[in-house]
Amino acid sequence: MFDYWKMDNSIKNGAVSGLIAGIVSGIVSIFSALFNFRIGLAYYYLPPPPETPITRIALVELTIVIIWGILAGVIYSRAYDVIPTKGILKGLIFGLFCHLIMGIRTASFLLPYGIVPLAKVWLIAGFPTWIVYGLLIGLLYEILLGEDHDSKKRLKVLRFDVKNGMFTGAIAGILAGITGFVTVMTTILMGIWAPILFYEPLDYLRDIGFLAGQCGTHVFIHLIWGIIFGIIFTKVFNLIPGKSIVKGFCYGFIIYLFAGFHIAVLYMAYDVIYAAIIWGYTDFCALAVYGIVLGYLYKK
């Protein structure tokens, strides 16, 4: 009877493993959120319980972690053969990678603006969630996979061309940074930043120092992440559908699902609408440009 659950379809294995790991990790996420309140951090600008009901926090955290857990499980099943090490450690590395995109990358955009409490939330709250998720999916996927996985049928992985990935990722990152700067400025002009602006929108756009600082910050951060994602791109190249620009766009969109879109959904769930729009819009534009440029420039 146990063999029934050893499904031949790796995507189903990943989805089921991701669902179970997501449920458990969602519970961890609830306690992590409450811990952040206890140590006095501004959890998505929410007032602490009982002003914000614990039931609302539990529902949001559990739902979102489960949804992204299933999505991550499907991606894990596709990337299984290119993740280093074996067994449960594969899952741990994958969980750390998820936290890299969702937590560490998000915090890296907040810290230059002095938004330290919220940056700490992204670093602290997500870490135990995705560590537990990684360990569980590593274990569960191995159980469902059983001995049916034929190493001879594994996807042939391209040679790990670090220099190519770094160079093209850097160029794509610079252009993504410029795009991010332009989109942020448009959100200021549209008044989306209104809840936290100190001056009129046009006053910001007349300040050359402000504009230079904004542009430089966006370019630098996107450059660093562009190099990191460029190196990873060389490792997963054969796993991504399409060719050239399409392949690059798909890669950028996958990152976006775990970065800007994930952040936007969280903020939307907690009624911080302006932050949801800013993250969702600016990160999509930046990562779309990043992916398209990376796909166009990268040569196997």
In this predicted model, what pLDDT tens digit does every residue of 141-155 receive, in sequence order? 998 877 555 444 444
197: confidence class by pLDDT, cuts 50, 70, 90 = low
Q: Across the chain, which distance is largest between two alpha carbons, in Å?
A: 70
Residue 131 token pair: 């560590």
Residue 56 token pair: 């609302």
Predicted confidence (pLDDT) per residue in 228-237, tens digit: 999 999 988 9
* CB proximity list for 112: less than 8 A, separation 6 or greater: 217, 221
Check whether 11 has a pLDDT greater than 50. yes
Residue 1: what pLDDT?
Answer: 36
Mean pLDDT of 221-250: 93
117: confidence class by pLDDT, cuts 50, 70, 90 = confident
40: confidence class by pLDDT, cuts 50, 70, 90 = confident
Closest CA to 294 of 198, 179, 143: 179
Positive or negative CA dihedral for 124, 125, 127, 128? positive
- Ranked by mean pLDDT, the top range of 5-14, 26-35, 244-253 is 244-253
Predicted confidence (pLDDT) per residue in 62-86, tens digit: 999 999 999 999 999 989 988 988 8
* CB proximity list for 21: less than 8 A, separation 6 or greater: 69, 73, 132, 133, 136, 137, 140
Residue 126: what pLDDT?
Answer: 87
**CA terminus-to-terminus distance, the chain:** 45
Predicted confidence (pLDDT) per residue in 142-194, tens digit: 988 775 554 444 445 445 577 888 999 999 999 999 999 999 989 888 888 76
Check whether 258 has a pLDDT greater than 70. yes
Q: How far apart, in Å, are the Cα atoms of 272 and each of 28, 63, 112?
A: 23, 18, 21
User: What's the whole-model pTM score?
Assistant: 0.87
Closest CA to 121 of 32, 226, 218: 32
Burial environment of residue 87 by CB neighbours within 10 A (0 to 12, 13 to 18, 19 or more): exposed
Mean pLDDT of 277-294: 96
Q: How far apart are CA 19 and CA 28, in angstroms?
A: 14
- Ranked by mean pLDDT, the top range of 45-54, 160-169, 249-258, 265-274 is 249-258
Residue 202: what pLDDT?
Answer: 67
